[in-house]
Structure 1
């Protein structure tokens, strides 16, 4: 089947007309509501500039990435139109829509500045671009069929069906179960009305576990229930369990777009319910004790928050002398193994023969090698898919996520570091930096070592670009030389012909940095236009030489130039005098383009000199 082409402008206008008609009729909802708020305006402005830092901050604040401004532009359209690949990628990872069957989706593809961005937009299919909560929903839904390890703690019966479920999920998602289990937390069995059709019972359970609504309900001969009886049963059980939106969820399943919109709403609602329950019961019941007494804490298996394991994190010792007399503290979090299974580390632990895999009357205490703040961030992500944390703690989160094999959280930490740590500069702005060390908001040397240890390619690329765009501030420092040596040593049995990966990346981004300057100014074309025609030996034509000679004779060379004035400290500056421009080695040049051209060569020579001093070839 041939790949679809981008719609023509007239087709886009027709698509917009039909879409507005359906929205007005109430058949579908507007995926891109109008937003005139100041935070959204700031997000749109950042997308135009390519400011990753501000974009990340606004997304973290909860600004709707799918809203539109007064000109009907969405943040994704602006980023694509202005050619900011990294911003477009960040928006897509944060849930920005680019669905081909919609006007805004087709418009986004139509306006993409280049094929690289267009291909990025096409890569993000329905599951990625519109459903960032899908991994959380998929995990919770998988608990219904997971056999090992056993994490269920209650059996619910309806008619002749017995289903093993999780109290904390039922309590979080159903007000009915929340009240009943709060009154009797030790309950292990529960019976629903026996007249409930099995299909209605299954639909209700799938809904509570964030599963997708069934497209067809089994009814008719062989099931014992007619279609009307099944729908009546769904209506009855939804009222009984106080989950009124269950029926709407099923009725909207026939239309693809309505089903997607309903799915998005239900997942957001489910995440909000889980988050509320998590913060109230898990974080709200954490225990802070002296480290020496942490392992003496006991929790009975029948507890009000239905926890089946305790995670412990010790406070890191402070380097401050005043804190020497402080008693070290530890924090214990009551958790549920069903949610910890999202980490491959805990999954391996709970399915092994280790003692932590065996359930006892007293909950096991598991030490996690990180600070309590980092562990709280990890648990918040595992329970809610939310990963909001400041730049100051991002590296610690990265290491902890790597230790626990939580790949998505590692990626989130890398995004935080590479966006909030970018110094608020777009790529074009970074190309014009003069590399002062005061601009550095992060320890880039620690960042790149963390990237090596955790094998995060995105972070390695960010660090190399960061160094290249600020190379003047780092190239003469001993730390930079040590970093180059470490990069060379990462190649086992390194030969003289082997390149140094970090150095190759820095050279690439250094070339990109100065190429952006020349490309933006159109310097190459300007030089070609002004160059006089030459003979075969490269000399100018006689006629042109005459014009040049006349021009030189007409010049009054006795007048002081800006260069001679700059060299003569006693001379007064004439009106219209511009500041002197010098290269990194102090040479005086006419303009910034000469400065950049010479600085580029100077930096390359310094890199070569550094390699020579380290006895390295690359």
Structure 2
């Protein structure tokens, strides 16, 4: 059949890539090992470095299959959120679901949005493509004319995606329109624009009768139809070359769904890279750092500025971050001058000399970012602002300034998400990003911030304790969370109490589970802390119409993860029997010590010196591993019971029943 012949030809020419390519690099091997161990911080680090999350090792294991097989639920969640591919209709996807260690992981895999795993940037590209037809709010600042039709477009997108307009707009930022030659059909212009805006490739110009050859070689086969199609193809090729597109629309790819999908993903990655370069060189490089009381003196022309921006976002720095040495200076790209104010003269903002002897009185600074409404409306907050009758939605000669109540680093992370989808969120800013995302109605960014907290703030710890009441032992990976004085309450990069309150305020169940698990694994450090007692009391008060004896959600979760920590949820450990046997052995040992047992009265069997001693030593060695294991389980059981008793004592002091 023709379609099968086309697919076979594509496979033979290696145009169709393997969805899970073999990766034998050292970095991927280390990533696979971290997935096997369930090391969340290390896995997050490799993902941030750009490791191939859908690769496979020499044993045909992908990171997601290993995490599912080994039962690391949080890691499976992290990999899915990061774009791990697990489509149910593929071999690797079915294998991942079938090999899941427990139903909890299997349910997560089955319920996950697999359109997002097959294309992690699907929401970003969907927004870009929607800009072509969106009229409310109005975000266009450039018009492309051809014949009797005109297309409202966006300068920043053309400047980042096409080398031709990048040069034209750099020479003349105020350029408002451009006319295409009349020889290029309107259909060809529409196809190229859909390609630039990452819209679906048209298939109505391709028919099975054309086989694997574009229509431009079949002119005249149909009465007028083939000639028209050939003209459209030639127009697409001409316009793509003029704009300097690396990879234009391909009619051959439209005939095969898999190849068309692969080409779209390639173009999506190329667009992300181009927009990332634009974001760095035009937005971050042109940000203005100025005294807060001088911010109104910074004026940017609406239709003529180096970033092609149509609004300024302002973020004030916290009071404790100022340095009097650089207060009042304006930071921007090399060679960039603060834009012309209303009077037509360049404004130069100098440091205040009156505060040199009083660093504590240094004026507050703010950072101004030139941005684009077309990308800000990914947030429902900005979409409503620019759609209504608000002042910010009205056109003005100079860019309007909008103040966002976050710090500049947090605003940069929010803008990074809006423009290029995947910000690397440091743990120290994760909570602020979480609140900012909630304020701006960015649910996906809220999920990414919660993911960063639960992954980076989740150091692995040992579960076996040397003695009852001994402090929690930390692995080398968790030493960054511990101060030299071994005081984790002061050295943690993020306050677990703030995490709990954020989870309650913003209703993020994932953070509630993380906080409960974290507290359970560090309960020795928190059980006597008055702030922890206040947290338990607050959790109890969250239940409406609380009865005299009722559950405390946070405490129930802590008990659950505490059982997980000491492995007491599995019935085959038989720790109760082990403790009873240990008590009986202690009693027998006491009798032997008084000289009443037979073992002290009898001589060793075969007691000819060294042979008997050797046999006794051999027998002792064979029993030693079991003894060590039993001692470890017994120690864990005692430690677990002590923590439970402390919880009960705490509840009595708080006069709570749960």
Q: Does residue 343 of the first structure (1) align with residue 379 of the second (2)?
A: yes
2:192 touches 2:249 (CA, 8 Å); kept in 1?
A: no
Shift of 1:191: 1.1
Match of 1:59 in 2: 47
Which among 100, 109, 133 is matched to residue 112 of structure 1?
Answer: 100
Shift of 1:29: 0.9
1:173 touches 1:274 (CA, 8 Å); kept in 2?
A: yes
Shift of 1:103: 4.1
Structure-2 separation of matches of 1:22 and 1:84: 38
Which among 495, 498, 516 is matched to residue 464 of structure 1?
Answer: 516
Match of 2:541 in 1: 489
Shift of 1:224: 9.6
Structure-2 separation of matches of 1:190 and 1:25: 40
Shift of 1:232: 2.1
Structure 1: tracts of 5 or more residues without a match: 1-18, 532-551, 559-575, 578-588
2:38 touches 2:75 (CA, 8 Å); kept in 1?
A: yes
Compared with structure 1, are the counterparts of its residues 472 and 67 closer, same or farther at alpha carbon in structure 2 (3 Å cutoff)? same
Structure-2 separation of matches of 1:477 and 1:525: 30
Shift of 1:146: 1.5
Compare 156-165 and 130-139 and name the one that shifted more.
Answer: 156-165
Match of 1:251 in 2: 252
Q: Determine helix, strand or coil for the equivalent of 1:313.
A: strand
Structure-2 separation of matches of 1:409 and 1:29: 31
Match of 2:229 in 1: 227
Compared with structure 1, are the counterparts of its residues 40 and 239 closer, same or farther at alpha carbon in structure 2 (3 Å cutoff)? same
Q: Determine helix, strand or coil for the equivalent of 2:85.
A: coil
Match of 2:285 in 1: 284
Shift of 1:518: 6.5
Q: Determine helix, strand or coil for the equivalent of 1:332.
A: strand
- CA offset digits 1:469-496 (Å, max 9, x no partner): 2212211111110111222233345443
- CA offset digits 1:308-328 (Å, max 9, x no partner): 110011110118999625442
- CA offset digits 1:266-303 (Å, max 9, x no partner): 11111111111111101111001111101221111121
Show the 5 A alignment for 1:65-464: 65-124=53-112, 126-217=114-205, 226-248=228-250, 250-302=251-303, 303-318=305-320, 324-425=360-461, 429=462, 435=472, 438=487, 441=492, 442-464=494-516
Compared with structure 1, are the counterparts of its residues 230 and 396 closer, same or farther at alpha carbon in structure 2 (3 Å cutoff)? same
TM-score relative to the length of structure 1:
0.81
Compare 108-117 and 229-238 and name the one that shifted more.
Answer: 108-117
Segments of 4+ moved more than 6 angstroms:
19-22, 218-224, 319-322
1:23 touches 1:30 (CA, 8 Å); kept in 2?
A: no
Compared with structure 1, are the counterparts of its residues 109 and 508 closer, same or farther at alpha carbon in structure 2 (3 Å cutoff)? closer
Compared with structure 1, are the counterparts of its residues 20 and 367 closer, same or farther at alpha carbon in structure 2 (3 Å cutoff)? same
2:322 touches 2:362 (CA, 8 Å); kept in 1?
A: no
Task: State the Cα RMSD in Å.
Answer: 3.2
Which among 530, 538, 541 is matched to residue 478 of structure 1?
Answer: 530
Q: Determine helix, strand or coil for the equivalent of 1:289.
A: strand
Structure-1 separation of matches of 2:381 and 2:547: 37
Structure 2: tracts of 5 or more residues without a match: 1-6, 208-221, 324-357, 474-485, 582-595, 603-619, 622-628
Q: Determine helix, strand or coil for the equivalent of 1:155.
A: strand
2:23 touches 2:56 (CA, 8 Å); kept in 1?
A: yes
Q: Determine helix, strand or coil for the equivalent of 1:334.
A: strand
1:431 touches 1:469 (CA, 8 Å); kept in 2?
A: no
Structure-2 separation of matches of 1:319 and 1:185: 35
Structure-1 separation of matches of 2:8 and 2:535: 57
1:274 touches 1:384 (CA, 8 Å); kept in 2?
A: yes
Shift of 1:524: 2.6
Structure-1 separation of matches of 2:257 and 2:102: 30
TM-score relative to the length of structure 2:
0.77
1:423 touches 1:439 (CA, 8 Å); kept in 2?
A: no
Shift of 1:228: 2.4
Match of 2:336 in 1: none
Structure-2 separation of matches of 1:320 and 1:245: 47
Structure-2 separation of matches of 1:50 and 1:323: 48
